[in-house]
Amino acid sequence: MPKTPSPCIDVCKFKRAGHCIGCSMTKTQKSLYKGLKKPKHQHAFVEMLVSQQGQLGKYSHWADAYSAKCRKKGLKNPLSEM
């Protein structure tokens, strides 16, 4: 399984009860993702994040921004497998 790009879309404004307005991660989750080395764990984290975004709402822009990030880096978008 290839490397999974970070779900961060470089907004990094933690204004929604500690969640980033760009990707929905908390500072703790961002640190946790950086520590994940196995692609299957990174992929599972992205799946969890998509679920979290659905529960929190207001993150419909993220999927398009993340897809663009994956294309720019020439990496496979894990969202296409969901």
Q: What is the pLDDT of residues 7-47, one digit of tens each?
A: 999 999 999 999 999 999 999 999 999 999 999 999 999 99
CA dihedral 62, 2, 74, 45 (to 10 degrees): 10
Q: Which residue has tokens 């990707």?
A: 23
Which residues are CB-contacts of 82 (< 8 A; sequence separation ≥ 6)? 47, 50
- Mean pLDDT of the chain, nearest integer: 92
In a domain, residue 45? The reply is yes
Q: What is the pLDDT of residue 1?
A: 60
- The total number of structural domains in the chain stands at 1
Q: What is the pLDDT of residue 64?
A: 95
Q: What is the pLDDT of residue 79?
A: 83
Its pTM stands at 0.88
In a domain, residue 7? The reply is no
In a domain, residue 55? The reply is yes
* 47 burial type by CB count under 10 A (0-12 exposed, 13-18 middle, 19+ buried): middle
In a domain, residue 80? The reply is no
Residue 64 belongs to what domain range? 14-74
